[in-house]
Structure 1
């Protein structure tokens, strides 16, 4: 009989560090109204009713971080996922309340630059909502990337905008910059430390998206900045498998060959 790996109870500091890698699935198991009123950026709302979807679509080795109101109900969910074979499940002690208080304590003293605050407000966010989320989980940084506003992206990063928040589709600001072919913004995000190989809920990375969309310039940029061509989606497809043009195929064949040779060295 396969031995079950028990879940762990962790504090907010460790939870923030795990989520910050861009590889973890963050689950909010409070009721839908509480989630709508406020939640940790990038968290997915879950109840026992949609637990089957999580179990069926999430790799058993993917880190899963769970929080509730105060840290009690999250342990029940963590135990369930552990029983279903998930190997890296954690429950956050203190729940959302502790996470919220931690976030407030980490905020730098002083208000945002007036120009940054005004731009954030112009997009429908609270003026001080540097990491606020709107429709589809879009943050101000994601909005600026979507609009191709390089100077605004730089200003938001300088103000401390969180880089690896994922929207409702599980994508970060890097993916959104790739959609718009904004190569300068890709550079700015990577320079700032965004996770270049962050995968969404389907296991797809920005490189995979660019390859499938035939964006040779973006593929070349991502590879030049260190994107890994080897990861695969949940369905087992790599960026090379998804390449939709000859240009992308050529770039990824070369990069994949180099990666394999490096691994064998």
Structure 2
């Protein structure tokens, strides 16, 4: 819509970095009064129809606003209202209080290890689950570059494993692009699905076969990747094999 302002959606793991960058932010809880009283985030103010006009009219437009609700749906409506009203820094929390409760090992306030924080800053990420070019996450970038210490640090911090980028690829795809079996094994062992299909219906095994990366094909097959999955164009990994080594590995026995 012409003239409509935008707002930003944050994950649980981006909260620390965001609060650190916006110490004067206004935190708004869009749930009912009882829920806010029971487990509202420290410093949060309950947001309702009764006080929305006062907040919209009396809050400085440049003051950062972060809104959360139960599941991250109502907060989007509220965030859009504040953005449309002219507030320049408006965010809402993906998953709301439910996402916070589901991540007890990494609640807001858990410090990011200095080495990881420095790496994230150098890469231009706002936090461990931040997004960069093409919607790539820090885990994707670390896997792509074979930066194993940062992969381990991100996994230990509890980043979202099933995140996908603009092409529908997970971090496991990027480990396959890097081409080191140990990196693939590390992410598969952490729980990334072997047979995830991207926006075109391709799997990591298909990519490895089409790229002639027989070591990665062998690793994925040993881990249990399914060679019979077909793309939207009805091709399997065998159909895509670019080298004799890949063909031999994928040929039915």
TM-score (norm 1): 0.60
What aligned pairs does 1:193-212 form with structure 2 within 5 A after superposition?
Answer: 193-212=191-210
Among 13, 38, 49, the residue aligned to 2:9? 38
Offset at 1:38?
Answer: 2.3
1:103 maps onto 2:99 in alignment: yes
The CA deviation string for residues 78-104 of structure 1, in whole angstroms up to 9 with x for no partner, is xxxxxxxxxxxxxxxxxx766244334
C-alpha distance in 2 between matches for 1:168 and 1:103: 22
- What is the CA–CA distance in structure 2 between the aligned matches of 1:137 and 1:100, rounded to whole Å? 21
What is the distance in 1 between the residues matched to 2:230 and 2:139? 27
Structure 1 contact 181–218 (Cα < 8 Å) conserved: yes
Structure 1 stretches lacking a partner, 5+ long: 1-30, 42-66, 74-95, 258-265
In the other structure, the counterpart of 1:244 is: 242
Aligned residues: 175
TM-score (norm 2): 0.62
User: Which residue pairs with 2:63 in the alignment?
Assistant: none
Is the 2:72–2:94 Cα contact (8 Å) retained in structure 1? no
Give the CA deviation at 1:134: 1.1
Tell me, in whole angstroms, the C-alpha distance in 2 between the residues paired with 1:71 and 1:114: 32
Q: Write out per-residue CA displacement over residues 117-142 of structure 1, whole angstroms, 9 at most, x where no aligned residue.
A: 2211111112xx11111110111111
Matched ranges for 1:130-145 at <5 A: 130-145=128-143
Contact 2:238 / 2:247 at 8 angstroms: preserved in 1? yes
Distance 1:68 1:112, change over 3 A: closer
Cα offset, 1:182, TM superposition = 2.1
Instruction: Write the distance in 2 (CA, Å) between the matches of 1:38 and 1:172.
Output: 20
| Residues 10, 94 of structure 2: 8 Å contact kept | no
Matched residue, 1:158: 156
Hey, what's the Cα distance between the residues in 2 that align with 1:132 and 1:72? Answer: 19
2:190 is aligned, of 170, 189, 192, to 192
Q: 1:120 to 1:219 in 2, by over 3 A?
A: same
Determine the structure 2 residue equivalent to 1:175: 173
**Aligned equivalent of 1:114:** 114
Q: Secondary structure at the match of 1:185?
A: helix
Alignment gaps of 5+ in structure 2: 13-70, 78-91
For 1:75-90, what aligned pairs fall within 5 Å after superposition?
A: none
Residues 196, 118 of structure 1: alpha-carbon distance in 2 compared, 3 angstrom cutoff = same
**Contact 1:239–1:252 under 8 Å retained in 2:** yes
Cα distance in 1 for partners of 2:5, 2:205 equals 36
After the TM superposition, which segments of 4 or more aligned residues of structure 1 sit over 2 Å from their partners? 31-35, 37-41, 67-73, 100-107
